[in-house]
Structure 1
Amino acid sequence: MNDHEVFELGDVVLQRGATLRDAKLAYKTYGTLNAEKSNAIVYPTWYSGRHWENEWLIGPGMALDPERYFIIVPNMLGNGLSSSPSNTPPPYDKARFPRVTVHDNVSVQHRLVTEVFGIEHLALVTGWSMGAGQTYQWAMSFPEMVPKIAPFCGSAKTSEHNIVFLEGVKAALTADAAWNHGWYDEQPTKGLRAMARVYAGWGFSQAFYWDRVYGEMGYSSLEDFLVGFWEGFFLDGRDANNLLTMLWTWQHGDISATPGFGGGYDEALASIEARAIVMPAEKDLYFPPEDEEYAVRRMKNAELRVIPGVWGHFAGGGQNPVDAKFIDEALKELLAT
């Protein structure tokens, strides 16, 4: 999928101190920037996601309508399109790729928005999962640019329970001898398949499996779903070192770690000025509604809207039209205010 552009960033000094030389930010835009440069929306990608996997929420008649808005989808550092272990030359290639934070991702996205397009104010920032974490970070880092945010199925700070889940994912992937501490020449497919099976128990809810909703997705049995959907998902052009890079970014997501901000998590939330509609999913095992209810109570201008249903985290993944409609309608309302 080469239907994207690349912003040459030059040398980028990352939050943890390493320099990512000749860094690149891959992105795709939808729609046309108006003369006032007032109709831009930033919609970041998520863990392992690529820009085309965000397109389910973009289209005519939807909130993110390319006929009305200029939608920018930046690919996360580490996702295989932007600078990543898989495409960076030595010495920072493969297992030596530096640590990247959510703040680093948003910083280079800000450069894209301001340096390439000359945009000073955004209409909205929105995103799913790790995209939601980047959405919060945009509001934290650049409050003067971001009047509205809509994070869904994600959080401003990764919880300890979420970190534990990711430790299980990491252990499954790196247990494959072919991983070779990151210095492999061929993908550690056994590890990727094992990782997929760990993920399968978390991405959808207990009720999803109880009701065998995977049958509605075209899978004939539980095993067919585990192989066809989950193993297929992680074998679809996803590199092991890239996944581990983004996993580290996820585990260390925390808006209170923003440079120059000396407060704790509560203070960080209280500093967000943007009008927010925060949408956790009712049965999300990664980012439960209770966590986002905590965040919303501490934000100045935020509303909690829980996505109902059994789809768990993937309520925000564009897998079913009911949840997609719920998210789209909230975005329409937010953009109209």
Structure 2
Amino acid sequence: MLAMAVSTRARADTAAAPTSPAAPQQFARLGDLRLESGAVIHDCQLGYRTLGTLNAARDNAILVPTWHTGTSGQLLEVLGPQGLFDPAPYFVILVDALGNGVSCSPSNSASQHGKAFPAFTIRDMVASQHRLLTEQLGLHHLRAVVGYSMGGMQTLQWTVSHPRFMDAAVAIAATPRLSSYDLLFWRTAEQAIVTDAAFAGGDYQRNPPLPLFQMVFALNATSPDFRQHKTTPAEFDKFLRETVAPDPEAPDANDNLAQIRALLSQDIGAGPGGPPGLEQAATRVRARVHLINARQDQLVNPRAAQTLAPMLHARLTLLDSECGHFAIQCDMASIRAAVEMALKPEVGSVPEAISKPRSAGIAVTPK
């Protein structure tokens, strides 16, 4: 989920990213954005990039939301013929989620700066993206929504908030709701930020390095086996120094915290006027859903996705490598094959509401 940005440190620790295509940063002015809480983000701009051309039938558009603290520019790094999917046949919209430092965020708001920025949710992210598509780009249907980590959480929320808007949804390393283990990890990460003296209650003058947060994140980003194979005890002190060293590319701490709090409350079976529980949420879904999870993911536990899959008649791909949440860096070929399969048009209509659970199709990719 989150884990966020596939950072420069993470890339150095795992495999190289594919070559990225080029697309300029753009912004959609949404004005005042009313949130589900009733609060308002003033003068909200949503960042996005586009790749390719919308075809005459207007049926080749794919939305890709960002992961936690990720940017649309970083999404470019994981697309291409050797990336998550080849964007060439599609009109791809890469959208900067609320609070990522590019779209309206605590760090860039003039009137609601820092801790004064209103709390938002994953559902608010999806609502802002819906406005971008319908009001700014004139799109009212998508071939698919594809997301990784927190982008996958947004993808799953899309299927419930706007069930007929897309033909397919591909959620990678994501969950429909946080498990108790996820809550424990992200509450710990939250505390590692707010209790840091340099964070200064959100009133810092310089972005704090947050060494404890970096350690907590590194602890769960991959599996124990991965860390032991990658770092010998003799190399550990060097690894730790590099992990906690100030990173000029690190996301703003208030932005980081705001997005953590958004994902902490996420549950596709909850929300104002929403259905109570996964089973009821599943009855709203009309898209074909493909879930891709890693068994050893310690940032986003895969069990809730496995529970949801049969409710949706969804295909489930389980990755069995030791790379954990960063399977996107270690198992890209397996993930790409699953995504490309999901993007193929299906003969017949999209699924109607699911009345009874049944077994999902499960593909297990070994080490």
Work out which of the residue numbers 28, 37, 60 in structure 2 matches 1:39: 60
Name the counterpart of 1:331. Answer: 339
- In 2: Cα distance, 1:289 partner to 1:83 partner: 30
User: Offset of 1:5 from its aligned partner?
Assistant: 0.5
1:175-186 equivalent positions in 2, closer than 5 A: 175-186=195-206
Instruction: Indicate if the aligned counterparts of 2:164 and 2:287 stay in contact, CA closer than 8 A.
Output: no
1:282 and 2:300 are equivalent in the alignment: no
Return the letter of the residue paired with 2:334. F
- In 2: Cα distance, 1:89 partner to 1:34 partner: 39
1:143-154 equivalent positions in 2, closer than 5 A: 143-154=163-174
Instruction: Indicate if the aligned counterparts of 1:39 and 1:70 stay in contact, CA closer than 8 A.
Output: yes
User: Offset of 1:270 from its aligned partner?
Assistant: 3.4
Name the counterpart of 1:162. Answer: 182
User: Offset of 1:154 from its aligned partner?
Assistant: 0.8
Give the match's secondary structure for 2:318: coil
Instruction: Indicate if the aligned counterparts of 2:23 and 2:51 stay in contact, CA closer than 8 A.
Output: no
1:210 and 2:228 are equivalent in the alignment: yes
User: Offset of 1:232 from its aligned partner?
Assistant: 6.1
Give the match's secondary structure for 1:305: strand
Q: Percent identity?
A: 33
Work out which of the residue numbers 315, 318, 340 in structure 2 matches 1:303: 315
Give the match's secondary structure for 2:49: strand
- In 1: Cα distance, 2:124 partner to 2:285 partner: 19
- In 1: Cα distance, 2:246 partner to 2:320 partner: 25
Task: Evaluate the alpha carbon distance shift between residue 63 and residue 169 of structure 1 in structure 2; reply closer, same or farther with a 3 A threshold.
Answer: closer
- Unmatched 5+ stretches in structure 2: 1-21, 347-367
Instruction: Indicate if the aligned counterparts of 1:64 and 1:71 stay in contact, CA closer than 8 A.
Output: no
Instruction: Indicate if the aligned counterparts of 1:41 and 1:125 stay in contact, CA closer than 8 A.
Output: yes
Name the counterpart of 1:6. Answer: 27
Instruction: Indicate if the aligned counterparts of 2:181 and 2:301 stay in contact, CA closer than 8 A.
Output: no
TM-score normalised by length of structure 2? 0.83
Encode CA deviations 1:126-164: one digit per residue, 9 max, x unaligned. 111111100001111111111111101111112222111
Task: Evaluate the alpha carbon distance shift between residue 11 and residue 168 of structure 1 in structure 2; reply closer, same or farther with a 3 A threshold.
Answer: same
User: Offset of 1:234 from its aligned partner?
Assistant: 5.9
- In 2: Cα distance, 1:169 partner to 1:97 partner: 20
- In 2: Cα distance, 1:201 partner to 1:142 partner: 36
1:291 and 2:304 are equivalent in the alignment: yes
User: Offset of 1:175 from its aligned partner?
Assistant: 2.2
Name the counterpart of 2:98. Answer: 77
Instruction: Indicate if the aligned counterparts of 1:280 and 1:305 stay in contact, CA closer than 8 A.
Output: yes
Instruction: Indicate if the aligned counterparts of 2:177 and 2:304 stay in contact, CA closer than 8 A.
Output: no
Encode CA deviations 1:168-209: one digit per residue, 9 max, x unaligned. 1122222222211111111222xx222100111101001111
Name the counterpart of 2:147. Answer: 127
Task: Evaluate the alpha carbon distance shift between residue 327 and residue 261 of structure 1 in structure 2; reply closer, same or farther with a 3 A threshold.
Answer: same
- In 2: Cα distance, 1:287 partner to 1:45 partner: 16
Return the letter of the residue paired with 2:114. K
Work out which of the residue numbers 159, 162, 167 in structure 2 matches 1:139: 159
- In 2: Cα distance, 1:182 partner to 1:173 partner: 9
- In 1: Cα distance, 2:155 partner to 2:339 partner: 14
Instruction: Indicate if the aligned counterparts of 1:196 and 1:234 stay in contact, CA closer than 8 A.
Output: no
Give the match's secondary structure for 2:191: helix
Aligned length: 323
1:248 and 2:266 are equivalent in the alignment: no
Instruction: Indicate if the aligned counterparts of 1:278 and 1:303 stay in contact, CA closer than 8 A.
Output: yes
Instruction: Indicate if the aligned counterparts of 1:8 and 1:25 stay in contact, CA closer than 8 A.
Output: yes
- In 1: Cα distance, 2:204 partner to 2:39 partner: 23
Task: Evaluate the alpha carbon distance shift between residue 310 and residue 119 of structure 1 in structure 2; reply closer, same or farther with a 3 A threshold.
Answer: same
User: Offset of 1:44 from its aligned partner?
Assistant: 0.5
Give the match's secondary structure for 1:327: helix
Task: Evaluate the alpha carbon distance shift between residue 9 and residue 181 of structure 1 in structure 2; reply closer, same or farther with a 3 A threshold.
Answer: same
- In 2: Cα distance, 1:304 partner to 1:296 partner: 6
Return the letter of the residue paired with 2:303. E
Give the match's secondary structure for 1:42: strand
Work out which of the residue numbers 236, 239, 243 in structure 2 matches 1:222: 236
Name the counterpart of 1:200. Answer: 218
Give the match's secondary structure for 2:185: helix
Return the letter of the residue paired with 2:314. A
Instruction: Indicate if the aligned counterparts of 2:278 and 2:308 stay in contact, CA closer than 8 A.
Output: no
User: Offset of 1:313 from its aligned partner?
Assistant: 0.6
Task: Evaluate the alpha carbon distance shift between residue 16 and residue 2 of structure 1 in structure 2; reply closer, same or farther with a 3 A threshold.
Answer: farther
- In 2: Cα distance, 1:165 partner to 1:34 partner: 43
Richer in helix (by share):
1
Instruction: Indicate if the aligned counterparts of 1:43 and 1:72 stay in contact, CA closer than 8 A.
Output: yes
Name the counterpart of 1:110. Answer: 130
